[in-house]
Amino acid sequence: MRCSPLLLSLGLAAVLATQTAPLQAQDRDVRESPPPGPSVLKLTTSTRALALGGAFLMGGGRHGVFHHPSLISGQGFDVTLGGSRAGPADGDRDRAPDDLDDDDEPGHKRDALYGALSTGAAWMGGTVAVGIAVFNYGSDRDGDAPREWDLDRDRRVAASRVWPAGTEFVGAVGYRRAFFGFDFGAAAKVVGQSVAGTAARTGAVDAGMSRGIGRLTAALTVQNLGPDLDLAGRKVPLPARVTMGAGTRSRAPVGPLDIGAAAQVSYERDGAIVPGGGVEVAYWPIQRRIFIVRIGAVRVVEGDGLPLTFGAGFEGDRIRLDYAYSEHDPAAGSHRFGISIG
């Protein structure tokens, strides 16, 4: 397949864009060089995509405003909800009461809740989508703030390791329209983070393109380009990244089953390369009553979480219910639920 010069140009511009701020030396102390944040920009919003190793390529949807704005499609609503609640005295995945982590104290729970809502509609020859995602984390402990910048490090490992309470949010407006055989999309975002008595707001943009190639859809997107957050005088860079992937436009019949797949690779601001993908298998014993199983895998850059992802779903008429299990986004909980209407 011959590569379009436009696709190559966008790819080159995407890589250059992620280098607009110099990467910090990996051995520098975390207090001197906070990692990119906030985490709400790193989480996988779509429950379906989470079960497919984080790959948001199959069928698009309103949640495309958070993933690939060139894949925004459909009228209706998408809702995602997930979270974690650690038992008292321990922040580990094993929840053992006699196994305290650093900074853990008996009797204090560490909780997190993640939710997202997006809606879309046809507008001016294209599709517009509006979405908001909120990530709330913390504990029932009042008192001293954590060690400087340890909060971000712990938040990325597990929500149960994070205190005191904090909130992150992103509001996005995106638009997709077709030109010359390609779908182009862009999203403008407002990003906020409030933690340990400090708060900051900034703006960011995503841009990308996609194209159907036979039964496949390929997409390239640059995300989270914008000025740093200013938290208590410290500059916190946004987690800019470039994502390229492909997936089946719809499930293809294979005997009594319908099968689809998606895969992607992301180049993160810190230099990490994160591939992921998965397969979706559907069975419909009754017309328009479809039962779905999903399995995928994604590279876990930090922590010791499982690389495998799992999920299930049910489609009936205009409603789809989704469930996903993944340890790729441990701070927002391993279990995720979603509903799509439209």
The token pair that represents 233 in the structure block: 């005088």
Give the Cα separation of 224 and 206 in Å (integer). 6
Range of the domain at 9: 5-341
What type of residue sits at position 17? A
Q: Which helix (H) or strand (E) covers residue 51, if one does?
A: helix 47-51
pTM: 0.78
- How far is C-alpha 218 from the chain's CA centre? 18
pLDDT of residue 37: 72
Mean pLDDT by 10-residue block, N- to C-terminus, for the chain (342 residues)? 40 39 36 61 93 89 96 94 62 40 45 92 96 82 42 41 71 97 97 88 97 94 95 89 95 94 95 95 93 95 81 94 84 84 89
pLDDT of residue 313: 97
pLDDT of residue 233: 84
Give the Cα separation of 258 and 336 in Å (integer). 24
Residue 317 CB burial class (10 angstroms; 0-12, 13-18, ≥19): exposed
Please tell me the total count of domains within the chain: 1
pLDDT of residue 174: 98
* Residue located via tokens 């102390």: 29
pLDDT of residue 52: 96
The CATH number linked to 284 is 2.40.160
pLDDT of residue 216: 94
Instruction: Supply φ then ψ for residue 44, to 5 degrees.
Output: -85, 115
Q: Where are the beta strands (DSSP E) in the chain?
A: 76-85, 110-123, 126-139, 166-179, 182-195, 198-213, 216-225, 229-231, 234-236, 241-248, 252-254, 257-268, 273-286, 289-298, 308-316, 319-325, 335-341
CB-based contact 170:132 (threshold 8 Å):
yes
